[in-house]
């Protein structure tokens, strides 16, 4: 029997009465704390920016985003549980500025800053990371436009072509 199956069987057999009272009380507090932080964070500017982007997601709207009226495809909601960070990695290249980070990352970020490390992804080796790979990105952004950078005049010219093509209803990249 695999570990996942073993854990699932344990959970199915577990009854509330089998959990010590103190553990149940702590769990209730943790759930309420988590819900409070989630709801409070949903009004922050960064959350609103992310929500605006996620509203454009295609697919069946089957998962609620707490603190908002937003609903997403279940596969998107399932990316983050159990991880401190969710980082896209299209073409094998990390995109730390397109990532989701939990507060659990703060200590690792602070440590890197204290050590003089300023690279945006320097702290990732110290936290639990869920990488979002090509096959997961493609259905949501087949042309990877989310990761396009404008670092030169040539990049700017290409971005203008893409923008004009999109405005005209074309699929040019």
Q: pLDDT digit string (tens) for 45-99?
A: 666 766 776 677 666 676 666 667 777 666 655 566 678 888 889 889 998 887 8
**Residue 49 lies inside a defined structural domain of this protein:** no
Which residue, chain included where needed, has tokens 């344990």? 10
Residue 2, domain extent: 1-41
**Residue 2 lies inside a defined structural domain of this protein:** yes
Task: Give the tens place of pLDDT for each residue, 136-169.
Answer: 888 877 877 777 777 788 888 888 887 777 666 6
**Residue 86 lies inside a defined structural domain of this protein:** no
Task: Give the tens place of pLDDT for each residue, 85-110.
Answer: 888 898 899 988 878 777 788 899 99
Q: How far apart are CA 167 and CA 4, in angstroms?
A: 48
Q: How far apart are CA 127 and CA 112, in angstroms?
A: 12
**Residue 163 lies inside a defined structural domain of this protein:** yes
**Residue 162 lies inside a defined structural domain of this protein:** yes
Entry pTM: 0.51
**Residue 156 lies inside a defined structural domain of this protein:** yes
How many structural domains are present in the chain?
2
């Amino acid at each position: 029997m695999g570990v996942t199956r073993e854990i699932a069987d344990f959970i199915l057999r577990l009854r509330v009465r089998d959990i010590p009272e103190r553990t149940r009380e702590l769990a209730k507090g943790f759930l309420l704390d988590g819900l409070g932080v989630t709801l409070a964070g949903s009004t922050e500017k960064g959350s609103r920016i992310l929500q605006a982007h996620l509203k454009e997601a295609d697919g069946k709207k089957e998962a609620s985003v707490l603190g908002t009226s937003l609903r997403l495809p279940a596969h998107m909601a399932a990316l983050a549980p159990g991880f401190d960070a969710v980082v896209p990695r299209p073409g094998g290249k990390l995109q730390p500025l397109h990532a989701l980070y939990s507060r659990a990352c703060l200590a690792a970020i602070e440590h890197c800053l204290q050590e003089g490390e300023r690279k945006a992804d320097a702290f990732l080796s110290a936290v639990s990371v869920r990488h979002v790979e090509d096959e997961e990105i493609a259905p949501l952004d087949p042309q990877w436009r989310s990761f396009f950078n404008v670092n030169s005049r040539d990049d700017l010219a290409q971005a203008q072509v893409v923008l004009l093509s999109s405005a005209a209803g074309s699929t040019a990249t």
